[in-house]
Chain A
Amino acid sequence: MIGRTRIEPLVSAENLRRTYRSRKGLFGATTDVRAVDSVSFAVMPGETLGIVGESGSGKSTMGRLALGLETPDRGQVFYRGLPMPPPGTGEWRKLRQKMQMIYQDPLGALDRRLPVLTQIREPLDIHQPAAARANEEAAAKMLARVGLSPEQGARYPHELSGGQRQRVVLARALMTRPDFLVCDEPVSALDVSIQAQVVNLLADLQAEFGLAMLFISHDLRVVRQISNRVAVMYLGQFVEEGSADDLFAEPLHPYTRALVSAAPQARSAGKAERVVLAGEPPNPARRPAGCAFHPRCPVARPECRVTAPELRSVGPARRVACHAVEAEILSFGEVA
Chain B
Amino acid sequence: MSENRASLVSLKGLTVSFDGVRVLHGVDLEVAAGEAVGLVGESGSGKSVTWLAALGLLPRKAQVSGSATLKGIELIGASPRVLDSVRGGRIAMISQDPASALNPVLRVGKQIGEALALHRGLSGQALRAEALRLLELVGIPDAPRRLDSYPHEFSGGQNQRVMIAMALAGQPELLVADEPTTALDVTIQAQILDLLREIRREMNMALVLISHDLGVISETCDRVGVMYAGRIVEQASAARLFETPQHPYTQGLLASLPPLDGPRRRMRSIPGVVPDPRHLPMGCAFAPRCDRPTSRCLQAQPMLSPLEAGHAVACFHPASAKPGMRAA
Contact = CB atoms under 8 A, between A and B. Distances in A.
**In their complex, do chains A and B touch, with some C-beta pair under 8 Å?**
yes
Interface of A: 54-55, 161, 163-164, 191-197, 199-200, 203, 218, 220-222, 224-225, 244-245, 248-249, 258-268, 271, 274, 276-278, 280-281, 296
Contact of A203 (B155, B189, B259, B266): B266
B264 A221 contact: no
A199 B264 CA distance: 13
Most buried by A among B187, B218, B266, B328: B187
B273 interface: yes
Contact of B215 (A54, A191, A266): A266
B15 interface: no
A225 B267 contact: yes
B158 A280 contact: yes
Interface string B284-319: 000000000000000000000000000000000000
Interface in B158-200: 158, 185-191, 193-194
A244 B264 contact: yes
B186 A192 contact: no
A198 to B, nearest CB: 9
Contacts of A260: 260
Contacts of B194: 274, 276
Interface stretch (B73-81, B127-135, B239-247): B239-247
A309 B243 CA distance: 43
B321 to A, nearest CB: 11
22 contacts: A161-B273, A164-B273, A191-B42, A194-B274, A197-B270, A197-B271, A218-B186, A221-B257, A221-B259, A224-B260, A249-B261, A258-B190, A261-B190, A262-B190, A263-B215, A264-B219, A265-B328, A266-B214, A274-B190, A277-B190, A280-B157, A281-B157
A191 B327 contact: no
Contacts of B269: 193-194, 196-197, 200
Contacts of B26: none
B185 A281 contact: yes
B264 A224 contact: yes
A205 to B, nearest CB: 14
Contacts of A191: 42-43, 212, 274
B93 interface: no
Contact of B261 (A55, A248, A276): A248
A200 B260 contact: no
Contacts of B259: 221
A264 to B, nearest CB: 3
A54 B185 contact: yes
Contact of A218 (B185, B243, B271): B185
Contacts of B242: 266-268
A224 B186 contact: no
The 5 A-B pairs of least Cβ separation, nearest first, read A264-B215, A196-B269, A196-B256, A266-B214, A54-B185
Contact of B214 (A192, A197, A248): A192
A268 B238 contact: yes
Given A224-B260, A268-B239, A194 B217 contact: no
Interface of B: 42-43, 155-158, 185-191, 193-194, 212-219, 238-243, 252-254, 256-261, 264, 266-271, 273-274, 326-328
A163 B270 CA distance: 12
Contacts of A192: 42, 212-214, 253, 256-257
Contact of A267 (B188, B266, B267, B327): B327
B229 to A, nearest CB: 12
A191 B270 CA distance: 11
B160 to A, nearest CB: 12
B219 A271 contact: yes
B133 to A, nearest CB: 21
Contacts of A244: 264
Most buried by A among B189, B213, B218, B257: B257
B187 A193 contact: no
Contacts of B267: 196, 199-200, 225
B290 to A, nearest CB: 12
Most buried by A among B215, B216, B217: B215
Contacts of A276: 187, 190-191, 194
B270 A225 contact: no
Contacts of A218: 185-186
Contacts of B327: 266-267
B260 A163 contact: no
Contacts of B268: 196
